[in-house]
Amino acid sequence: MAGSNSGSFKERFAAGAGKFASSRFVRAVMDAGYSVISFSIIGAFFLILMVLPQAFPIPGFADFYANTLGRFANLFQVVYNSTMGILSLVFAGTFAYSYTNIYRQEEKLDMVPLNGLMMFLIAFFITVPQLVLKDGVVGFVEKISKSQNIIGGIEASAGGVTRLGSVGIFTGLVMAWLTVQIYRYTVKHNWRIKMPASVPAGVSNSFSSLIPGFCVAIVVTIINTVLVLSGTDIFKVLFIPFSFISNIADTWWGFLIIVFLIHFLWWFGIHGATIMSAFYTPIVLANMAENVKGASHFFAGDPMNSFVIIGGSGATLGMAIWLAFRARSSQLKEIGKVELVPAIFNINEPILFGLPIVYNVNLMIPFICAPLASGIVGYLAVSSHLVPKIIVQQPWPTPVGLSGFLATTSWQGAVLSIVCAIVAFLVWYPFIKHYDNVLLAKEKADASAK
């Protein structure tokens, strides 16, 4: 009976978590996260050009820089503002486009992804200006000081419009979700202007989005008005819960809980990284932007593939290499050969399901503890400033060493990435060695029985 209940729990848990991982919202968030990678790398390149004197404190170099590249520092700042400075637009805009497209394909609705994106922009920009109720009249906030410049309700600095950067990620995500849901509702209830078939598609699409666009604008304006009359706005309202979550995730114990949950879910055969990243992606992007401005967060950009799960979930790169060259059982050796190249690019499904690790009690401990160990090493190294903070979100398949270099734009980051991979393998070694001996004995017993 106990075994039956246990099996039933596993099935229900796996089904629920799997359903969430494959949900439309999570898939759209993942698409949005991928869209930011190229922007962050481009922005980081021009950021490096701006901070070369700080990166290379060589006597005389600062003067040389000031008379050469330094003359164009403001131009480099403009390019940076055009990438990382509009992070919320890129992230939430891609989410709105992808979310609309998913509904269009899976519910067979006549929704145009580009219209979803455009309507999101309407919704988001309604919330950007800072408004205040004064003497019964709603007006724009005006404030000019050394620390803050707000003109016509728009707060700006040398880094661009404040609320279009990392500050607006959470608000943008909420507005994008709301926009698509309103758009979906109006389409399902046929609230739109239909044009004759002879009208060009571009013209027809623009008119079909007219009523949904009005609905989005009206709903968001009502929400914004209620909040302004209450002495706040949606940015300030969302800042409280999300800053609380962000602060927890940025602690060493909060970070380790995230790593644990990723691998605990994976052991049940559920893509833990997909589920957890749906929650923490906005946080790491916001932290990365803050790092560029002087903050010092470890949980920024993509610390997982740089310093934690090197080789894939479970930090299996070192183990995959050992399997390919040192395993004695034919089963593990063949799996190692198949996994060797994918592991270099942080892909390890052959090991997860071929070894297997999923539902394998013998390998559950190292699968969870190896990334926890590498994560602790990475967290301590960056938090103690032995390694520079993360300011770039590198592509997740970036190989070990190069991933750490790109994330921190430093040789120290490259070394740390390799050290973390070694630490993870040291956790794996006694367990995989024992498992290899068990399988080898079984293979010999099977061979002798034939």
Residue 345 burial (10 A CB sphere; 0-12, 13-18, 19+): middle
First to last CA, the chain: 38
Please give the Cα distance from 297 to 69 (Å, whole number).
29
Q: β-pairing, 137-140 with 143-144?
A: unpaired
Digit-coded pLDDT (tens) for 389-446:
998 888 878 899 999 998 998 999 999 999 999 999 999 999 999 999 999 998 888 7
pTM comes to 0.72
Instruction: Please confirm whether the linkage preceding 342 is cis (ω < 30° from 0).
Output: no
Other CB atoms within 10 A of residue 54 CB = 8
Higher pLDDT residue, 137 or 277? 137
Structure confidence at residue 57 (pLDDT): 67
Q: Please, what is the average pLDDT of the chain?
A: 86
- DSSP three-state, residue 389: coil
Residue 217 burial (10 A CB sphere; 0-12, 13-18, 19+): middle
- pLDDT at residue 7 greater than cutoff 60: no
Structure confidence at residue 31 (pLDDT): 84
Please give the Cα distance from 338 to 320 (Å, whole number).
9
Structure confidence at residue 1 (pLDDT): 45
Digit-coded pLDDT (tens) for 137-184:
999 999 888 777 899 989 888 778 888 887 788 889 999 999 999 999
Find, among 196, 192, 392, 189, the residue nearest to 285 by Cα.
392
Structure confidence at residue 54 (pLDDT): 65
- pLDDT at residue 111 greater than cutoff 80: yes
Find, among 374, 379, 355, the residue nearest to 254 by Cα.
379
Higher pLDDT residue, 153 or 22? 153
User: What's the token pair of residue 441?
Assistant: 């004995």
SS in 3 state form for 180-206?
HHHHHHHHHCCCCCCCCCCCCHHHHHH
Window from 27-31, 46-50, 108-112, 415-419 with minimum mean pLDDT:
46-50
Structure confidence at residue 94 (pLDDT): 93
Share of the chain above pLDDT 90, in %: 41
Please give the Cα distance from 196 to 200 (Å, whole number).
9
Digit-coded pLDDT (tens) for 323-355:
999 999 998 998 888 888 888 988 887 888 778
In degrees, rounded to 5, the angle at the alpha carbon of residue 162 between the alpha carbons of residues 160 and 168 is: 125
Please give the Cα distance from 339 to 337 (Å, whole number).
6
Window from 99-108, 204-213, 396-405 with minimum mean pLDDT:
204-213
User: What's the token pair of residue 412?
Assistant: 């120290």
Higher pLDDT residue, 267 or 4? 267
Please give the Cα distance from 309 to 396 (Å, whole number).
10
Digit-coded pLDDT (tens) for 224-274:
999 999 988 898 888 777 776 777 878 889 899 999 988 988 887 667 777
Window from 43-52, 63-72, 87-96, 319-328 with minimum mean pLDDT:
43-52
Structure confidence at residue 450 (pLDDT): 66
- pLDDT at residue 301 greater than cutoff 50: yes
Structure confidence at residue 56 (pLDDT): 65
Please give the Cα distance from 409 to 388 (Å, whole number).
8
Q: β-pairing, 137-140 with 131-134?
A: antiparallel
- Give the contacts of 238 (CB within 8 A, at least 6 positions apart): 170, 171, 174
| 8 A C-beta contact, residue 336 and residue 322 | yes
